[in-house]
Amino acid sequence: MEIVEQIVQAALDQEALQLRSLIQQFLRNDPHFEELPVFNSEDPIKFALAAAIIELLAEQAKQVPPSWTFEAESLAEPIFLLKSAVKMKRLRQLCVEESPLPLKKRGFYAPPNYLSFA
């Protein structure tokens, strides 16, 4: 699941173009989300973000996410996945209020259309 690790890192680094490219590469392989192997990481933030992204992509593909995504816990401190959300009050508020549920329930905030290009 090296590509998922790269996706997670790009999201944490707030590298939108790289993230988009990696996700498109991942989706070109037409993944069966329910069968994806467990994302192995000692970092609970990376594990939670991997679970959130995989669950979001599975939802968009109208598939069932893998069972391991339900093991991911919510973060103690929220993380905004857009650089501009830190500086722009309205965008930050939009992210808090309308972040996609797979992200929001784990403590990640992004606009409602986050990864909708996929």
Digit-coded pLDDT (tens) for 4-49: 999 999 999 999 999 999 999 999 999 999 999 999 999 999 999 9
Residue 118, in any domain of the structure: no
Residue 117, in any domain of the structure: no
Find, among 91, 87, 89, 109, the residue nearest to 99 by Cα. 109
pTM score: 0.93
Mean pLDDT across 90-111: 96
Q: What is the DSSP letter of 77?
A: S
108: helix, strand or coil? strand
* Rounded-to-integer distance, Cα 84 and Cα 11, Å: 14
Residue 115, in any domain of the structure: no
Domain containing 91: what range? 2-109
Mean pLDDT across 90-110: 96
Residue 41, in any domain of the structure: yes
* Rounded-to-integer distance, Cα 4 and Cα 20, Å: 12
Count of domains observed in the chain: 1
> If pLDDT is split at 50, 70 and 90, which confidence band does 98 have?
very high
Residue 91, in any domain of the structure: yes
Residue 114, in any domain of the structure: no
Region class of 115: left (phi > 0), else alpha (psi between -120 and 50), else beta: left
Residue 45, in any domain of the structure: yes
Q: Kindly tell me if the per-residue pLDDT of 64 is higher than 80.
A: yes
